Amino acid sequence: MGKLKVASLFCGCGGMEYGMLGGFEYLGKNFNSLPFEIVYAIDNDKYAAQIYNANFLHSCEIIDVKEVVAVSVPDHDILIGGFPCQSFSIVAQNPPRLGYKDDRGKLFFEMIKILQHKNPRFFIAENVKGLLSVNQKKTFPIIVKEFEQAGYHVKYKLLNASDYGVPQKRERIIIIGFRNFQDFVNFEFPIPTTIGDQKAKLRDVLAQSNLIDEKYYFSQKAVDGMMRTKEKMNKGRAQNLDTQCNTIGSHLAKISLNGTDPVLYENGRYRRFTPREAARIQSFSEAFKLESVSEHRQYRAIGNAVPPVLMWHICNTLVHCCINAN
C-alpha cells in the first residue's frame, strides 16, 4: 500500500505530524509508523517552523495562510490543521469570546478554501473545547456546516488526551471530514486506551529533582506573594504527581504562581516545568528536537501542539477503519 499524502496548515512545531507519522517511543511503548507522508506544511511563526524543520524530512514553509494560493498546494489525500484557537478559547476573555466575528476566528475559512480546491479524501481539524460553546454555541454548527458545504461528511468528538496514555488532562475537539460516504460510515473514534489507575501520571515524565536548574524555581519573594494573596487568588496550581497534569498552555515561560497554570511543588519548593518536561507532558518522545530555538519559543510551540500520542491513536484508527478496510 502506498503512503497517503498529507498537507498541513498551521503546523506549529508539528505535534499532529509527529503523531501521524508514528515510529517513535513514548513511556516505554512503541508507536509504529503509520502510512502517511507529509508533502506540504505551513505556519507563520518562524520559531515554531525552526523546531519543525529540525524534526521532519519535509520543511515547513513560513507564510501567512491567507497568502496560500490553493491551486499551488500539492495534491494530497488528507488536509490537517489545528486552526488558531485564540479567539475561540474559553481562556480568551479579554476581549470577550469573539468567535467567528473575530478576524483570527476566520482562519478556518482558509482550510475550507483548500478543501474546495484540492478535494482531499479526508481532513482532520483540531481545536479547543471552547469552540463548542463560543457565541452561545452558534459558532460550532456554522463551522460544521461550512465543512459539509465544501463536500464532506463530518464526524467530531471531544477527546481527552489523558484517556490515551498522555499524562495530561487536555480536552480537544477533533473534527474529521470524509469525502466518501463509506469512509464516514466506517470510521469510529478511538476508544480510550487507558482508564483509572492505568493512566500515565505526571510523575512518569518529570526529571529527577537534583537535575533541575535553579532558574526553574520560583523565588522566595514570589512564593511569599502567593501566600499573602491566597485568600483571594488561587493558590499556585501545584500538581498532584500521581495523577494527570492540568492542561499546559503556550505561555509556560511566563507563568506566575498566582495564575491557574500548572506548577510543581517538590521538596518544599515551587517550580515551573522545564521545556523537555512540557514536551513529555504533551507526549513528545525524547527524540523530538527542541533546542534550535530559545526556551521561551520552545514552551510556546510545545504548549500549542496536539499531543502526538493522541494524534497517533486517531490516525491509527483512521487507517484501520478506512484505509485498510478498502
Ligand X SMILES: C[S@@+](CC[C@H](N)C(=O)[O-])C[C@H]1O[C@@H](n2cnc3c(N)ncnc32)[C@H](O)[C@@H]1O
Number of residues that bind ligand X (CB under 6 A): 22
CA–CA distance from 229 to each of 222, 223, 256, 262 (Å)?
Answer: 11, 10, 13, 17
C-beta closer to ligand X: residue 99 or 236: 99
- Restricting to residues 149-208, name those near ligand X by CB under 6 A: none
- Restricting to residues 81-100, name those near ligand X by CB under 6 A: 82, 84-85
Which of 10, 56, 123, 284 touches ligand X by CB under 6 A?
Answer: 10
Least distance in angstroms from the C-beta of 174 to ligand X: 12
Contact 182, 147 (CB under 8 A): no
d(CA 165, CA 159): 12
85, 245, 315, 322: which one is catalytic?
85
Which of 45, 163, 183, 277 touches ligand X by CB under 6 A?
Answer: 45
CA–CA distance from 116 to each of 79, 93, 107, 147, 238 (Å)?
Answer: 11, 33, 15, 9, 46
C-beta closer to ligand X: residue 23 or 151: 23
d(CA 240, CA 262): 10
C-beta closer to ligand X: residue 4 or 131: 131
Least distance in angstroms from the C-beta of 222 to ligand X: 29
Which of 4, 6, 7, 14 touches ligand X by CB under 6 A?
Answer: 14
DSSP state of 193: S
The number of beta carbons lying within 10 Å of the beta carbon of residue 242 is 10
Pairing of strands 4-9, 36-43: parallel
Q: Does 43 bind ligand X (CB under 6 A)?
A: yes
Q: Does 262 bind ligand X (CB under 6 A)?
A: no
Q: Which stretch binds ligand X (CB under 6 A): 78-86, 130-138, 149-157, 212-220?
A: 78-86
In degrees, rounded to 5, the angle at the alpha carbon of residue 120 between the alpha carbons of residues 305 and 40 is: 50
Q: Does 105 bind ligand X (CB under 6 A)?
A: no
Half-sphere exposure for 98 (CA within 13 Å, toward CB): 12
Which of 131, 212, 306, 323 touches ligand X by CB under 6 A?
Answer: 306
Among all chains, which residue has been given the C-alpha cell 463536500? 151
Q: Does 13 bind ligand X (CB under 6 A)?
A: yes
Active site positions, annotated: 85
Binding footprint of ligand X on the chain (CB under 6 A): 10-16, 42-45, 48, 64-66, 82, 84-85, 107, 304-306
